């Protein structure tokens, strides 16, 4: 786990941040979708975000945690029954690095950039975690993986069916909620038939020969004056999912499914003048970053000069 401390006042938060070191992430207790949280890179930001987090938390408590912004974010969906049989249903990789809420991130299943060593390392950790916690049913485990080394942290463990579980169920054809309900009444994985395949038992791990892409749907077309920057607080109000043989095909299919008129991956915002250097846009992650990066690539801009592109 990343170094962290639970606090109840801004004074305690500053003391914790001095020990952990800036930047830090503020995570309010008992709020959903990252409500009230945020990233603090200065002492002024720390005081402001902690105050908002304490106001949003029902028990007036926040977690001050070391920032892992820029690391890869990977999720595993794991199932365990009362006889300690465990399987991993699916692993998913966030296209956006740490710092963007999972609900606001483009997610790909199965992971596309992990080496076999990294995949097996995180899979083993997932199975050990669900066994150590004694969870019976579905469990969602989120990891932060250092892109420069094998170091990783466990960011979050949801001992329940979560938003990601619905995506994993649709992506793999494995009915996670149904199997979890059967486990809750005492059935073992090898006793539960998979109602989707009609041929295998729930103890069989799904194997994908296709790629699934999930893209969030933001309401900024209806709320044009809203802040389009995305971060630790979830702003998406829906999502689309696409399946195809390759990542590129699934990505473009998902973009068309967003139903923004006839917007494809080649769409450009009218504010982006033809021929103009837009490598500076967006400097912050937002809902238009995919199209901005594609436009920069078409103009042969040095995308590596932009912090957003480099991430």
Per-residue pLDDT tens over the stretch 192-241 = 998 888 888 999 999 899 999 999 999 888 888 888 888 888 999 999 99
- What are the φ and ψ backbone dihedral angles of 159, each rounded to 5 degrees? -80, 55
**For the ranges 82-86, 225-229, 258-262, the one whose mean pLDDT is highest:** 82-86
Whether residue 168 is predicted with pLDDT greater than 60 in this model: the reply is yes
Which carries the bigger pLDDT value, residue 248 or residue 300?
248
Closest CA to 7 of 71, 38, 67, 51: 51
Give the number of other Cβ atoms within 10 Å of residue 240's Cβ: 16
Fold of 72-191: D-amino Acid Aminotransferase; Chain A, domain 1 (3.30.470)
CATH of domain 4-66: 3.30.1490.20
Per-residue model confidence (pLDDT) at position 66: 95
23-40 burial, b at 16+ Cβ within 10 Å, e below that, comes to bbbbbbbebebbebbbbb
Average pLDDT over residues 47-63: 96
Note the pLDDT of residue 308. 40
Q: Are strands 38-40 and 24-28 parallel, antiparallel or unpaired?
A: antiparallel
Q: Which residue has the higher pLDDT, 281 or 237?
A: 237
pLDDT at 161: 82
Helix, strand, or coil here: 2? coil
- Domain 4-66 identical in fold to domain 72-191: no
Predicted structure pTM score: 0.87
Q: Which two tokens stand for residue 154?
A: 């466990």
Q: Looking at residue 268, what is its pLDDT?
A: 84
**Average pLDDT of the residues of the chain:** 90
Round to whole Å and give the CA distance between 262 and 247. Answer: 21
pLDDT higher than threshold 80 for residue 255: yes
Q: Which residues contact 35 (CB under 8 A, 6 or more apart)?
A: 28, 56, 233, 234
For residue 245, give every residue at least 6 positions away whose Cβ sits within 8 Å of its Cβ, in sequence order, or none. Answer: 210, 211
Cα of 246 vs its chain's centroid, Å: 21
Domain extents in the chain: 4-66, 72-191, 266-311
């Amino acid at each position: 786990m990343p170094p962290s401390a639970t606090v109840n006042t801004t004074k305690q938060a500053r003391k914790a941040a001095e020990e952990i070191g800036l930047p830090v992430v503020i995570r309010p207790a008992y709020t959903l979708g990252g409500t009230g949280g945020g990233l603090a890179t200065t002492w002024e930001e720390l005081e402001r975000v902690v105050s908002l987090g304490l106001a949003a938390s029902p028990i007036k408590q926040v977690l001050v945690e070391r920032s892992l912004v820029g690391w890869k974010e990977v999720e595993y969906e794991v199932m365990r029954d009362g006889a300690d049989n465990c399987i991993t249903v699916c692993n998913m990789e966030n296209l956006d690095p740490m710092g963007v809420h999972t609900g606001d991130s483009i997610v790909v299943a199965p992971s596309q950039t992990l080496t076999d060593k990294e995949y097996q390392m995180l899979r083993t950790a997932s199975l050990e975690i669900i066994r150590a916690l004694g969870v019976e049913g579905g469990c969602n485990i989120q990891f932060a993986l250092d892109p420069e080394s094998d170091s990783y942290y466990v960011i979050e463990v949801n001992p329940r069916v979560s938003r990601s579980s619905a995506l994993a169920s649709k992506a793999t054809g494995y009915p996670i909620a149904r199997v979890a309900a059967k486990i809750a009444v005492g059935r073992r994985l090898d006793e539960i038939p998979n109602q989707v395949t009609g041929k295998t038992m729930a103890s069989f791990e799904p194997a994908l020969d296709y790629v699934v892409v999930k893209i969030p749907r933001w309401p900024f077309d209806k709320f044009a004056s809203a802040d389009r920057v995305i971060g630790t607080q979830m702003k998406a109000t829906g999502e689309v999912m696409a399946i195809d043989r390759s990542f590129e095909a699934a990505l473009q299919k998902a973009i068309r499914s967003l139903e923004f008129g006839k917007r494809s991956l080649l769409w450009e915002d009218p504010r982006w003048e033809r021929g103009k250097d837009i490598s500076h846009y967006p400097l912050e992650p937002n809902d238009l970053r995919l199209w901005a990066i594609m436009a920069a690539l078409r103009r042969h801009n040095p995308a590596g000069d932009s912090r957003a592109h480099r991430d």
